[in-house]
Amino acid sequence: MRTPDLSRLVETFVRIGTEGSSDRHFHVLRNLIAPLIRDLRDHNLIGWFSFLVHDRNSGVPTTLNDPAAYLHVRFERMPGVDFETLVSALPDFCVFTQPVPPVNERSLQPADHTALIAPEVATGWALFGASSEWALDLACAHRNDRPLPVKNLRQFLHYLGNQLLIRTTDIPMP
């Protein structure tokens, strides 16, 4: 994943819902977010993206009585693509779209970006984007006609933890 130009970031939100199941979350990733990312990239509108899950208490600019979780998706506009052009390319399920305010060192806390070989904040955001791309690839590598098995998530997170010498769980898989 490319290192984003942090001055060209746009954020939008995609409602997941209030369901306690991860099935809806993976459905949104596979059927809404992945095709959206492909389309925006194919049209040379974005270069970098990331996503996290948030709600009204953690950054979604919605009403106080909205209990829903949202995918908080950020894009880097490609050079020459203005905000209005990108917004006009977004489907109706993208809400609360706005430019991202200037990004500073606090955006990565508690991570220490100065420990990176290229110690710019944008390097940390590039890594975050790479993890978002990996998570989206993991979701999309599974069939759409059945729930994504929890044991698959555990196993692939185990592999990642093993590669980085971080133990993710000692819970036996079913």
The pLDDT score that the predictor gives to residue 109 is 66
Residue-by-residue DSSP string for 30-75? IIIIHHHHHHHHHTT-EEEEEEEEE-GGGT----TT---EEEEEEE
The pLDDT score that the predictor gives to residue 145 is 86
Q: What are phi and psi of 167, to 5 degrees?
A: -85, 125
pLDDT digits over 130-158, tens only? Answer: 999 999 999 999 888 888 888 888 888 88
Query: Could you give the C-alpha distances from 59 to 14, 64, 118, 161, in angstroms and in order?
Result: 13, 12, 28, 28
The pLDDT score that the predictor gives to residue 66 is 93
Structure tokens given for 67 = 């209990």
Predicted confidence (pLDDT) at residue 61 exceeds the cutoff of 70: yes
User: What confidence tier does 169 reach under pLDDT thresholds 50, 70, 90?
Assistant: low
E strands within the chain?
9-17, 46-54, 69-77, 94-99
Q: Which domains does the chain have, with CATH numbers?
A: 6-141 (3.30.70), 145-174 (no CATH)
Predicted confidence (pLDDT) at residue 2 exceeds the cutoff of 70: yes
The pLDDT score that the predictor gives to residue 89 is 98
User: What confidence tier does 170 reach under pLDDT thresholds 50, 70, 90?
Assistant: low
Omega within 30 of 0 (cis) for the link into 110: yes
Query: Could you give the C-alpha distances from 165 to 71, 88, 119, 162, 168, in angstroms and in order?
Result: 29, 44, 23, 5, 9
Residue type, 111: A
The upper half-sphere exposure of residue 10, i.e. CA atoms within 13 Å in the direction of its Cβ, equals 24
What proportion of the chain, given as a percentage, has pLDDT over 70? 90
The pLDDT score that the predictor gives to residue 162 is 80
pLDDT digits over 85-134, tens only? Answer: 999 999 999 999 999 988 766 666 677 777 878 778 888 888 889 999 99
How many Å apart are CA 110 and CA 105, to the nearest integer?
A: 10
What proportion of the chain, given as a percentage, has pLDDT over 90? 52
